[in-house]
Amino acid sequence: MNSQQLARGFKNVDKRMSAGWKWFIAFLVAGVIAIILYPVFAPTKRYRHRSPISNIKQLIIANLMYAQDHDDSLPLAESWMDALGPYTNNEMLFVDPLLEDPKEGEYGIAFFKPLSGIETTTVFGPDTVPLVFQSRLLGRNAASNLSTLPTPPRYKGTHMIGFLDGHAKSFRDKDVDRNPKIEFKPSSDKEED
C-alpha cells in the first residue's frame, strides 16, 4: 500500500466522520434550544402548584410602600387591591396560585380588616399582626379576620400569612391564632385646652 492509497482511505474516513459529527452537533444544538425554550412554552398549569409565599411577600411590600407614601396609613380594607395597583407590577399577584381553576375575578387572598386605614407606627408587635393571607373569600378587595382561612389549607396542609413587619410564614391549621389581639400605642399628641 503506497502513500496515495493510504491518503485516499483517510479522506473517506474523514468524510464519514464529518457527516456523523454534523448530525451529532445538529441534535445537540436542537436539544439545547429545546431546554432553553421549554419554560417559555410549557403549559402554565404545571407551574400553578407553587407556593403562594412569593405573592404574599410582594403584597406585604406593596402595602408597606403604600403606607410610606400615605403618612404611614394602610389602605382601606374595602379598596385595598385598588389602592395597591400602582405598587404592583402584575394583577396576578392578588391571585392565590393554589386556587383550583380560578374564574375571572377570583383572587383567594384577603386583607386583615382590623388594619383598615390604620397607621402602621401605632401598632405594637407588628411581627405578630397579620396583614394579608389566603382566604375562602374569592372576590376583589376581600377583607376579613383570619376566620376565613381556607379549610382545608391550600398549601401542603398550611396557611400562608403575611405580617405587618414584612415577613410571611406558613402555619399548620392548628397553630393559627384566628383572633389575634392587636394593641395600639397610645397617641403622643396631647390635647390642648
Counting every residue written for the chain, the total comes to 193
Which is more confidently placed, 111 or 8? Answer: 111
Let me know: does 106 contact 135? Beta carbons within 8 Å: no
CA–CA separation, 38 vs 77, rounded Å? 40
Distance of CA 16 to the CA centre of its chain: 53
Distance of CA 189 to the CA centre of its chain: 39
- Per-residue pLDDT reduced to its tens digit, 21-43: 788 888 888 889 888 887 776 65
Question: What pTM value is reported for the model?
Answer: 0.70
pLDDT confidence bin for 134, thresholds 50/70/90: very high
Residue from 114, 102, 177 nearest 143 by CA: 114
